[in-house]
Every structure is written in structure tokens, then in C-alpha cells.
């Protein structure tokens, strides 16, 4: 079996690759498991050293849409594509052309390249919770279900929703076996901040644990739907392995979510690392970030994901502890 992961050098892409390689074999659409022969990691930068050391891994560097247009990707014989690469929310609001090219144009080009293979590969598309949004002058968002009509309020969410529909139509025509999933806000991401408006959700945990100050640009009562990296990867994998009957309609599914508030996230951080950690949080409101974040739902139902056997994280403190266990070298504070 040959698998392509776009954004494969990134945090989630590399984590997905490690999970697939560790398993050694993989099931697509409910069929019998097959041995994984190659995982192609496509990204602007090189894949992590541990993945490059695996003979089954091939790293392809460059601009994704250019690689696709040059027919360097996907290679003949590709059985599954996990399309994770994207420009993030803050970038898309700041640079409209960047978002359209990186998200909409690239996804369309990749779908066309998969169509040209003539083999209907599995196509797992990482959409976003940002397809849901609080429209100005409308009643507050309630709980978002799998079949709730998306009303995105930012360029990123609009681009993701358009791509969901493209994946559905390419699936209807038999060009790919599309599976669109909507991950929650993934916390805690290691490393440095990215351009996502949601980046502070990780930063308010990661930086204090490293003994650094972190800005929280929204009020404590701000609701948020979260998931750990582990739960998110489980969702990507299950989307590919589910049979057509298990998957159901061609429309996107919401991945499992933990509904909480920013204040409760800070309280969980304090339970794990004490007041020394929360004393490093600077609560400084940013109206632009708050407007965008508050347009996203804080309550998300995930009935279809539950039907696939997926589960949400039990609580936010467990997510913080998982981060600490996986990133000991980045934690400077004493944790309990």
C-alpha cells in the first residue's frame, strides 16, 4: 500500500505518519489489511529525521500545488491521500490570495490529480470546525451537528467548506473515495506559535509550562471545542478504514470534541502545574481574535464519529498531562 500525506512534515502529518508506520499494515474502506510499502510526506520543508530514517518514507519538498501541477504528486499506485496541508485561519484573513491558492486551488488540483490516476484512491480531507460560524445579527450558535448547515464567517472556513463540497462531488462521480472530517481545535501543539487565530489555545499551556509568559486574547468565559493530537489522529485513521456502509453519507463528519472554556483550560493548567503556571498568563483582550474565535461553535455534537467507535478526551487536564509526558524537554515547571 502506498500513502500520500500532504503537510507530512508538520506536527499532525508527522504524527499520522508515525502511527501508520508503527502499525505496518493498513485497512482501506473496510477491506483486508495490506502491508504499507511507502508513505510519501509532501511539505515545504523536510520530514523529521526519525521518519527520514525509515526506508518506507519518501520526503517530497516544495510548493504543493506546483508539485501536483508538475505531476510529481500523487504518484501512480497511490492508494490513499491524507490531505492535511493548508494555510491557517489567521493567514487566510490577512492574505486572501494566499488562502485561496493554498486551500481552494491546491485542493482542487490535488483532487484532479487523483482523478487522473483512474483508481479512485481514498481521499481523507482535513476540513475544520471553522466551517461553522456565528453570523452577525443572528441568534447565538447552539450545538453544531454533523448535518448542521455551515455558515463560515472567515475566509479559512469558507475555503474549507467549499473543499468539503468538492470532495463530496468527486466522490459522487467515483473519482475518489472521499472522507471529509472536521477536527476540533487541536491542543496542545508543541513548538513555536503558527499563524492560526486559535494558536493561543496551545500557547497558553505550552509557554507557561516552559516558564514563559503567554498572552490570552479572549475572556475566560469564551467557549471552545477541543481535541488532543492523539484523538485527532485516531479520527483521520478511522475515516480511511471505515467501510462505505460505516461511513454513510458523503458529507463531512465532526470529529469528537471536548467542550470547555478558556477559563477552565487555565484552571486545568493550574491543577497540573500550580499557580506558578497560571501566573504567567497575560489576559489581554484582542478584539479581532475574539471576534473570529467567538464566531466558532463551543458545542459540537459528533454522532457519526461516535458510530465509528471514536471517543472524545475525558477532560482538559488529561490533555495537559499527555503533553507533559510527550514533551518533557520542553517543560520547565514542576508538574503534579
DSSP letter (8 states) at residue 300: B
Among this protein's residues, is 156 annotated catalytic? Answer: yes
Cα(137)–Cα(153) distance, integer angstroms: 12
Q: Which of 26, 82, 156, 201 is catalytic?
A: 156
Output 90-94 pairs: Cβ under 8 A, ≥24 positions apart: 90/195, 90/196, 90/197, 90/199, 91/156, 91/195, 91/196, 92/154, 92/155, 92/156, 92/159, 93/154, 93/155, 93/156, 93/197, 93/292, 94/195
Q: Reply yes or no: is the peptide bond before residue 74 cis, omega within 30 of 0.
A: yes
Q: Which residue has the cell 483582550?
A: 285
What is the number of other CB atoms lying within 10 angstroms of the CB of residue 135?
A: 11
Q: How far apart are the first and last CA of the chain?
A: 43
**Contact between residue 323 and residue 317 where contact means Cβ atoms under 8 Å apart:** no
Nearest to 94 by CA among 157, 184, 154: 154
CA 125 – CA 186 distance, rounded (Å): 16
Which H or E run includes 205? helix 200-209
Helix 316-326 crosses helix 262-273 at what angle (to 10 degrees)?
A: 50
The grid cell for 291 is 471576534
Active centre residues (catalytic): 156
Amino acid at each position: 500500500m502506498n500513502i500520500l500525506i500532504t503537510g507530512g512534515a508538520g506536527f499532525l502529518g508527522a504524527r499520522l505518519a508515525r502511527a501508520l508506520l508503527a502499525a505496518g499494515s493498513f485497512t482501506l474502506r473496510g477491506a483486508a489489511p495490506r502491508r504499507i510499502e511507502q508513505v510519501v510526506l509532501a511539505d515545504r520543508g523536510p520530514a523529521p529525521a526519525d521518519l527520514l530514517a525509515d526506508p518506507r518514507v519518501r520526503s517530497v519538498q516544495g510548493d504543493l500545488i506546483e508539485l501536483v501541477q508538475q505531476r510529481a504528486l500523487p504518484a501512480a499506485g497511490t492508494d490513499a491521500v491524507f490531505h492535511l496541508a493548508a494555510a491557517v485561519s489567521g493567514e487566510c484573513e490577512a492574505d486572501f490570495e494566499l488562502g485561496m491558492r493554498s486551500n481552494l486551488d491546491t485542493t482542487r488540483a490535488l483532487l484532479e490529480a487523483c482523478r487522473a490516476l483512474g483508481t479512485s484512491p481514498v481521499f481523507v480531507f482535513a476540513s475544520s470546525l471553522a466551517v461553522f460560524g456565528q453570523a452577525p445579527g443572528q441568534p447565538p450558535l447552539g450545538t453544531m451537528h454533523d448535518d448542521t448547515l455551515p455558515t463560515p464567517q472567515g475566509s479559512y472556513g469558507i475555503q474549507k467548506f467549499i473543499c468539503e463540497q468538492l470532495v463530496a462531488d468527486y466522490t459522487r462521480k467515483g473519482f475518489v473515495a472521499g472522507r471529509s472530517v472536521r477536527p476540533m481545535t487541536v491542543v496542545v501543539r508543541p513548538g513555536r506559535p503558527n499563524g492560526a487565530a486559535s494558536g493561543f489555545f496551545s500557547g497558553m499551556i505550552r509557554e507557561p509550562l516552559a516558564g514563559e509568559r503567554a498572552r490570552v486574547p479572549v475572556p475566560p468565559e469564551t467557549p471552545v471545542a477541543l481535541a488532543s493530537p492523539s484523538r485527532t489522529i485516531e479520527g483521520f485513521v478511522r475515516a480511511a478504514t471505515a467501510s462505505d456502509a460505516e461511513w454513510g453519507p458523503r458529507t463531512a463528519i465532526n470529529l469528537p470534541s471536548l467542550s470547555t472554556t478558556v477559563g477552565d483550560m487555565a484552571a486545568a493548567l493550574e491543577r497540573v502545574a500550580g499557580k506558578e503556571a497560571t501566573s504567567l498568563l497575560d489576559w489581554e483582550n484582542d478584539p479581532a481574535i475574539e471576534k473570529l474565535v467567538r464566531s466558532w461553535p463551543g458545542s459540537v455534537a459528533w454522532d457519526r464519529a461516535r458510530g465509528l467507535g471514536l471517543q472524545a478526551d475525558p477532560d482538559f487536564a488529561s490533555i495537559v498531562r499527555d503533553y507533559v509526558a510527550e514533551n518533557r524537554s520542553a517543560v520547565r515547571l514542576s508538574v503534579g
